[in-house]
Structure 1
Amino acid sequence: MNTTPRIDAQAGGLAARFEATFGAPPHGVWAAPGRVNLIGEHTDYNEGFVLPFAIDKRARTAVRLRGDTLQKGSPHQGALREDTTVRLLSTSGGQVLVLADAAKLTPGAVKSWAKYPLGVVWALQQHGIQVPGFDLLLDSDVPLGAGLSSSHAIECAVITALNDLTGAGLTAEEMVRLTQHAENAFVGAPTGIMDQSASLRGALGHAVFLDCRDQTVQLVPFAAQEAGLVLLVIDTKVSHSHADGGYASRRASCELGAETLGVKALRDVAIGELEKARELLDPVTFRRVRHVVTENERVLQTVDMLRSQGPAHIGGLLDASHASMRDDFEISCPELDLAVDTARGNGAIGARMTGGGFGGSAIALTPVQHEQQVRDAVVRAFADAGHTAPDIFTVTPAAGAERIL
C-alpha cells in the first residue's frame, strides 16, 4: 500500500465531478487495483499459497467526511460532527444515489454495489473504529464479473480512504482482514484473503507471493515484458458470483476434507499423503482435496521458476493448474475451456482460468509475436461456438492501493 499521493490522470476529473455532485470538494481521492491471480486458485481459504498481482485497472473513490470538521488524529484535525449519513454514487449504474445510516448497517440488507463500501464501514465499526457520515463518488475500470476482483478493488479503495480520513492507523494486514470480514459477514461471500492482499500490498512489476496462513508476503519479480511476453486476459463475459452455491460448496468440501484427514487446513496435507486420503474420502471430496494440495505445490514451483529462470518457463504449471480446476475442482465452464485451449493452440506458452470460477476470465501467457494470432483465434472460436464475443486485453503488475489526490 502506498501512502504518498501520486499523480493519477483521472483523479482530478473525479474530484471535479464529486464537487459538482455534492457541492464541496472531496477530502481526497484514493484508488485500489483489481488483480489477476497468476496461479493458486481456491488455496487461500485453505491457508495455502497464492501468487496474484495487482493490475493496471482500478477503482477510484473520491471521499468527503460530512460536517465541517473531521476526526481528531486524522490529516484534518478537529472534533467529529455527529452525522452518520452516507451518500454513495457511482459513475456507472444509472447514477442512482444510495443513502444509508452508518450507525444502522445490517449484514445482508444491502443488495446493490453499495454493499461493498457499506460492508467496509460495518467491518470498521465492528473493529471499534467510529466512522462518521461521508459522501463518496466511485469510478472503476476493473471489468465487472470478469474474475478480476472488481468488488475487492472497491472495498480496498474505501478502506484505504477511511483509514486515512479517520486516522485509524490500520496496517495493510489489518485492512486485509477487515475487508475479508466485510465480504464474509456483510456481503455474504465466503472468500479468503488473496484478493485484498494483492490489491492492498501489490507492487509495480511484481507478483505477490502470499502465505495465507500468516499473511507473510514476498514480492516476486514478474518481468513478462522483458522476456518478450504479454499476459492476455480473456474475459469470457460469463458472469459469476462468489456468493453463489458453487463457491460455497467447494469451500465446504475442503473443510470436510480437512476434518476427515485430521488437519487444521488442507495446507497441512502433503502430496505424498494423497493416496492415503483417497482411501478416507468420498471421490468428490478427494478430487477437491487433490486440487488444493497440488495447486499449493504448483504455486511454490512457479515462485521458484520465476526467481531462477523467469516467466518464459512457467507455462506448463499454468496448464496443469487449469486442468486441475477443470477436472478435480470442477469450476471451469465451456467458454473458459475454449479460451484456454484456443490460446494454447495458437502460440500461448501457458493458459488457465483465473478467479473463483464458474465464468469470468482466463489468462494466456503469450510471446509478443503471437499476441494478435491468439486474440484473433479466440474471437473466431467464440463466434464459431455461438458464444458472446470475449473482451481481450493485456495486464501488467501495478502498484497497490494508494491515495492519488
Structure 2
Amino acid sequence: MEETKVLLGEIETGQYDERLKAIYVDETMVPYQKERFQKGICKFEELYGAGEVEVYSAPGRSEVGGNHTDHQHGEVLAASINLDAIAVVRKMQNNVIELLSEGYEKICVDLSDLEKKEEEEGTSIGIIRGMIYGLKKNGHKIGGFQAYVTSDVLNGAGMSSSAAFETLVGTIISGLYNGMEISPVEIAQVAQYAENVFFGKPCGLMDQMACSVGGLIHIDFADLKNPMVEKVEVDFDVYHHSLCITDTKGSHADLTDDYALIPQEMKKVASFFGKEFLREVDEKEFYKNIAKLQKECGDRAVLRSLHFFEEDKRVEQEVSALKNGDFKGFLQTVKASGNSSFNYLQNVYTNKDVQNQGVSIGLAVSESILKEHGVSRVHGGGFAGTIQAFVEDSFVETYREVLDSVFGEGACHVLKVRPFGGIKVM
C-alpha cells in the first residue's frame, strides 16, 4: 500500500508510464490513463479520506470465436481488451465492504452474512456477496475493504462489464488477503458461480475466464473443473488489422430470458441422447436424428445445436490459422462464425422486439462497406449490444466514420488485445 498523496505525485512525474503503456498497449492512451487514475485516487480521498491504498484493474473481453459454446463445454477463442474497470482500494479491519462505482450509489456488504438473498439477484451487491462466499468456500482468506470503482467497459453492451467487475472483486481479495496467490482460473470459476447463483444469470465460463486470465486465449471447457487454457501469441499489427468493437446502443437489460433459452434448447437436444451437454453428444448421431429432434425439441433447438457442433470446429480452425500465420484463413473463419450465429444460433435480435435490430443494422452496414477490407460478426451474447470487426488499418478511419454516423460519435472503438487479466497495478 502507498499513501494517496505519494501515489498521485508518482503518477504525475511519470513513474508509472511504462506500466500503463504495458497494460493498455497504446502509448497514446498513457496521458488519458494517468488522468483517469489520478481522478480515481482523488475521488477515493473525497469518499474515504487520504491514506494508504492499492489500485487494481480488470479488463473487458472480446469473444473472437466460440459463440455460445462455453455453456455446452465447448471451445472458445477470446481476448481481454484495453478497456477496463479500475478500483482504488483500502484494506479495512472491520468485516464490511464499502464500494462506490462511478455513477451509482454506494453499497455495503456485511461479510458476517454471506448467504444468498433473493432480493439481490441482478445487483452488484449480489455479485460481491457471491464472490466473497465462493472464495471463502474455497478456503481463501476474506476481509473488508473500501473501494472506488470507475470503468471504461461498456455496460450492457457485450464486453462483459459484469465479468470484469467480478474479476476485479476477486483480484482485490487475492491481493489484499491472499498475497495475489489465487489463480486467475479459480477467480473466473468463482465469478461464474457468483453470476449463476447470486446474480441469477445462467452464463457460461468464457467471459470470466477471458477477463481474469488475459491475453488472447484458447479455452477448452471439456472438463469444467480443469479447463484447458492456452495463450495464443499473435500481433494483429503485423497483419495490419485492428480490432473494432461498435456499440449499437442496444442494452442487454431484460434479455436474460433470451440468453437462457439458448443453453436450455441445446441441453434439450443433449438430453434426447441421454447427455447433459452437447459436447458429450456424438455429432454423427446428431445428424442422423435431425428429423426426430425436430419433433422432440423443435427446429430452433436443432439449428442452435448445429451451430454448436460447427462452431466448435471453427475455434480450432481459427487457432490453427493464427499459429500458422494464415491471417486470411482466420478472417474467413471469423466471418463464418458470424454467419452461423445469425442464421442458426439466431442471437442477433430478440423475437420479442423485431423492430429494434441495431446489431443487424451494424452487421449489414459493415458488410456493405468493408468488402475486402475486413470482416464483421455479432459480438458476445448477442440480441443487442456490440458487433466485432477486424479491419485493415488503412480502412479503419473510414469504417469508424461510417459506423459512428449510424450509431453516434464514439460508438466504434478501435481496441488492442491486452496481455493482462485481473492485476494489481500500483
Query: Partners of 2:174 and 2:254 in 1: how far apart?
Result: 26
Residue matched to 1:77: none
Residues 192 and 284 of structure 1: CA distance in aligned 2, closer, same or farther (over 3 Å): same
Query: Is residue 394 of structure 1 aligned with residue 394 of structure 2?
Result: no
Percent of residue pairs identical: 26
1:28 is paired with a residue whose SS is strand
Which amino acid in the other structure matches residue 119 of structure 2?
A: A
Q: 2:184 is matched with which residue?
A: 172
**Aligned positions, number:** 376
| Distance across 1 between alignment mates of 2:285 and 2:319 | 23
Deviation at 1:279, TM superposition (A): 2.8
Alpha-carbon separation, structure 2, partners of 1:186 and 1:302:
34
Distance, in Å, in 1 between the alignment partners of 2:49 and 2:402 is: 50
Is the CA contact 1:18–1:25 (under 8 Å) kept in the aligned structure 2?
Answer: no
Q: Tell me the equivalent position of 2:424.
A: 403
Q: Letter of the aligned partner of 2:422 in structure 1?
A: A
Rounded to whole Å, the distance in 2 between the matches of 1:158 and 1:174 is 13
Q: Does 1:185 align with 2:205?
A: no
Is 1:263 aligned to residue 275 of structure 2? yes
The 1:263–1:252 alpha-carbon spacing in structure 2 relative to 1, beyond 3 Å, is same
1:6-405, aligned counterparts within 5 Å? 7-8=19-20, 9=34, 10-67=36-93, 83-93=94-104, 96-105=105-114, 106-110=116-120, 111-167=122-178, 169-203=181-215, 207-214=216-223, 215-241=227-253, 244-269=256-281, 271-282=283-294, 283-333=299-349, 334-347=357-370, 348-380=373-405, 382=406, 391-398=411-418, 399-405=420-426
CA RMSD of aligned residues (A): 2.2
User: Is 2:61–2:159's contact at 8 Å kept on the other side of the alignment?
Assistant: yes
Matched residue of 1:103: which SS? coil
Instruction: Return the alpha-carbon distance in structure 1 between the equivalents of residues 149 and 239 of structure 2.
Output: 36
Task: Please say if residues 141 and 178 of structure 2, whose CA atoms lie closer than 8 Å, have aligned partners that are also in contact.
Answer: no
SS state at 1:400 partner: coil
1:148/1:363 CA distance change after superposition, 3 Å: same
Q: Secondary structure at the match of 1:63?
A: strand
Unaligned runs of 5+ in 1: 68-82
Higher relative contact order (CA 8 A, sep 6+): 1
Is the deviation greater in 44-53 or in 84-93? 84-93
Which one has a larger percent helix, Structure 1 or Structure 2? 2
TM-score, normalising length: structure 2: 0.82
Q: Distance in 2 between matches of 1:243 and 1:212?
A: 25
For residues 319-339 of structure 1, the C-alpha deviation after alignment (integer angstroms, 9 at most, x for no partner) is 221222122121102221221
My pick for the range that moved more, 234-243 or 284-293, is: 234-243
1:216 to 1:26, Cα distance in 2 relative to 1, 3 A? farther
Q: Give per-residue Cα distances to partners, 1:261-314, cap 9 Å, x unaligned.
A: 233421234554442141331222111111111111111111111111343332
Report Cα offsets for 1:49-80 as digits up to 9, x if no partner.
Answer: 0001000010111222222xxxxxxxxxxxxx
Gaps of 5+ in 2: 1-15, 21-33, 350-356
Counterpart in the other structure of 2:11: none
Classify the secondary structure of the residue corresponding to 2:98.
Answer: strand
